[in-house]
Each structure stands twice: as structure tokens, then as C-alpha cells.
């Protein structure tokens, strides 16, 4: 009996030491990007004419792993990753849709996997590049972990994923901006490093058009989102103060201003996510929120998607600065077949400064 107990003690000590070594490795290799990272710089960018009209789409593609058949363990479901067959089906669905909208000027994508176990190490960015030959692609990591150890029975493993901007025009600068705030150690070692990606395009009047894709925190109890939104606000006001025009699209993980979704919060079953509305006074002056309230853009992941039963809400939309006017916004109902989010398309105008005569869209 003493010998057995001794073996058990040594075994437990070995597990503790192994876990300690793992945490040390994760800490030493933790992805820690700078606040500002230049992703791309060009000496011969395209100059866009003002006034003119442009088109943009935002879509969180759910890394081609969260189609209608999926639930997700982190959201309260059971599955860790989709089958390879379903992953390839979701990838094809996303590819086909992107091919159908390849005339748009800008395509903003969130949760694009570059090399992750959860999507069988498929480089989705390279796949999309091949079907969008007229667009330039710019990307930024926001999830870069060598090994995610949860759930213990089937670890997620390596995750390398992020944000992508596809553009028909050559920007002068593309920069990754790291959002402030993080989870406590050691949780933060295995979580996303949230950011936004901003592409700068020279305008004919000497200013710039900034096209930004954002993906804000989700299961943070709202603490991190407040810091992220404050940081984004400061950046937007600074850039708009220079006379630059700005369009921001993405998965905000919040409802748009004036849109309250009590039903989703009551029915979603989430214990650590609350769909809260962005404050109406988030930005001063003539800023525009472009939202299609007729199409829900996100569904709960506790179970596979069942039309009419699965809770849905709106988390994906656009924000535009003064002298940048939304003309038409449309959510695309794909039935959540390929992702737990739906794409949203926007046509907008870059107007002359002080000469915006285009009537703005009504608030959501």
C-alpha cells in the first residue's frame, strides 16, 4: 500500500511539474503585439476621387467552422470543431458567396483561419486570394496560440486566425491597432488579442479614406469592450479631426445604438455574454450608424441552428464619419448555413468637406 501511495504521489508531482512547464512555455511564447503595427506601406497608392461612391461588405465567417450544423463548447454547446466534411462545405459556401460579390470595392472579414487545428490547418486566406484576383489582401492576427488546452478531453490545439481586408485599391498604409485590456493570467495566454485593422487610402482633396475592420470582445462581461470602444473612439475622433473620411465595419459583439434585444438575452442561454447596445452618444456630431434591422446577423451557438427556434440578434454593422454618408445597407440572409454570422453590405459616399448634401439614412 505504501508503495502504491508513493507511486501516486510521484505521478501527481509529475503532472504538476508538467503543467507548470506548459504554463511557463505558454507565457514565454505568448503573442504580445505592439499597440501599432504597420502591416503594409506603399509608395504608389491609388488616389480615390471625392466626391464618389464606394461599396463594402463585412462578414464574420466563423473560421468556416461554425455553420448551421455546429454548436460550440465555449458557448455552452458540445462540439469542439466541425467535421472535416462540414468544414470543407462551409469553406465552399463562403468561397462561392465571396465570388458572387467580387465587384465590391472592399471586403472585410473576421475570424479567418490561417493555420489552425480547428479547421484542419487550411489556409483560408490563400484560398480566398485565389478567388479574388482583382483584390489586394491585408491581414492581422488576433488569435495566435500554439496550443489551446481546452477542453481537456479534446483540446483545440493550435489557433492562428485574424482579420482581413480585401481591397480593389492600393492603400498607402495598413496598420494593426491593438485594443487595450486583457484577461487575467493565465487565461489571457489562450485567448484572443483583440485589434482592429485600418487601411488608409489617399483622397483627391489631400485627405484620406480609412476603411477599418473590427472584432470586439465577446465573453468578457462587458469589461474589455468598454476599454476597446474608448480606444476606438479616441482614434476615430483624431482621424476625423484631420478631415479624413472613415468607415468601420465588423462584428462589434454589441447591438447598434437604439437597438435593444431583450429576447436574445433571455433566450440565448449564455452565462457570460450579454447583448448590450452601444450608447447613442458614443460619438459627437454627425456620425452615422448603418444597420439593416430586418436581417439578424448572429445566432446563438448552444445548439445547431434551427430556423425560428435558435435565438438571433444583430452584432454586425457599420459606423461612418462625417462627410462619409451611408446610401444603402443590406443584410444578406444566408440562413446561417456557413457561419454563425451573416454578411452585411453597404454603399456609401465620400463627400466633399462641408458640402454633404446627401440625406443620411435614418438611425436604427
pLDDT along the chain (364 residues), means of 10: 74 75 76 96 97 98 98 93 98 98 98 98 98 98 96 96 98 98 86 97 98 94 92 98 98 96 88 88 95 98 96 98 98 98 98 62 43
CA dihedral defined by 298, 333, 120, 108, rounded to 10 degrees?
-80
The pLDDT of residue 360 is 42
Q: What is the pLDDT of residue 70?
A: 98
Counting every residue, how long is the chain? Answer: 364
Question: Is-contact 227 180, C-beta < 8 A?
Answer: yes
Contacts of 226 (CB under 8 A, 6+ apart): none
Q: What are phi and psi of 69, to 5 degrees?
A: -80, -10
**For position 355, what pLDDT does the model report?**
53
Find residue 211's DSSP bridge partners: 199, 247
Look up the pTM and report it. 0.94
Helical (H) or strand (E) element with 317: strand 316-320
Report residue 144: phi and psi, to 5°.
-145, 85
pLDDT of the residue at 94: 98
C-alpha span between 343 and 146 (Å, rounded) = 30
CA gap 168, 163 in Å, rounded: 17
Amino acid at each position: 500500500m505504501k508503495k502504491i501511495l508513493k507511486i501516486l504521489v510521484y505521478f501527481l508531482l509529475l503532472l504538476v511539474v508538467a503543467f507548470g512547464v506548459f504554463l511557463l512555455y505558454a507565457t514565454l511564447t505568448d503573442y504580445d503585439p505592439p499597440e501599432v503595427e504597420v502591416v503594409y506601406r506603399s509608395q504608389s497608392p491609388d488616389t480615390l476621387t471625392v466626391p464618389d461612391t464606394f461599396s463594402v461588405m463585412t462578414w464574420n465567417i466563423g473560421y468556416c467552422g461554425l455553420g448551421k450544423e455546429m454548436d460550440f463548447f465555449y458557448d455552452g454547446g458540445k462540439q469542439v470543431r466541425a467535421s472535416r466534411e462540414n468544414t470543407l462545405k462551409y469553406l465552399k459556401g463562403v468561397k462561392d458567396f465571396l465570388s458572387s460579390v467580387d465587384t465590391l470595392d472592399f471586403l472585410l472579414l473576421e475570424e479567418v483561419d490561417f493555420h489552425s487545428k480547428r479547421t484542419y490547418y487550411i489556409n483560408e486566406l490563400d484560398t480566398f486570394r485565389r478567388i479574388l484576383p482583382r483584390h489586394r489582401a491585408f491581414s492581422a492576427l488576433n488569435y495566435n496560440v500554439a496550443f489551446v488546452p481546452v477542453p481537456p478531453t479534446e483540446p483545440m490545439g493550435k489557433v492562428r486566425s485574424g482579420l482581413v481586408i480585401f481591397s480593389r485599391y492600393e492603400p498607402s498604409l495598413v496598420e494593426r491597432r491593438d485594443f487595450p485590456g486583457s484577461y487575467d493570467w493565465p487565461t489571457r495566454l489562450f485567448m484572443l488579442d483583440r485589434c482592429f485593422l485600418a487601411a488608409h487610402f489617399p483622397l483627391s482633396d489631400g485627405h484620406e479614406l480609412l476603411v477599418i475592420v473590427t472584432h470586439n470582445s465577446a465573453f468578457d462581461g462587458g469589461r474589455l469592450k468598454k476599454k476597446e470602444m474608448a480606444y476606438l473612439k479616441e482614434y476615430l475622433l483624431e482621424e476625423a479631426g484631420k478631415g479624413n473620411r472613415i468607415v468601420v465595419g465588423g462584428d462589434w459583439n454589441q447591438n447598434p445604438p437604439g437597438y435593444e434585444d431583450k429576447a436574445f438575452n433571455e433566450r440565448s442561454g449564455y452565462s457570460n455574454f450579454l447583448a448590450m447596445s452601444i450608447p447613442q452618444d458614443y460619438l459627437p456630431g454627425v456620425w452615422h450608424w448603418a444597420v439593416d434591422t430586418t436581417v439578424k446577423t448572429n445566432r446563438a451557438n448552444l445548439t445547431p441552428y434551427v430556423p425560428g427556434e435558435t435565438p438571433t440578434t444583430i452584432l454586425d454593422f457599420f459606423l461612418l464619419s462625417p462627410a462619409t454618408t451611408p446610401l444603402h445597407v443590406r443584410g444578406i440572409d444566408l440562413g446561417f448555413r456557413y457561419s454563425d454570422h451573416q454578411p452585411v453590405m453597404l454603399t456609401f459616399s465620400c463627400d466633399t468637406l462641408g458640402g454633404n448634401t446627401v440625406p443620411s439614412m435614418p438611425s436604427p
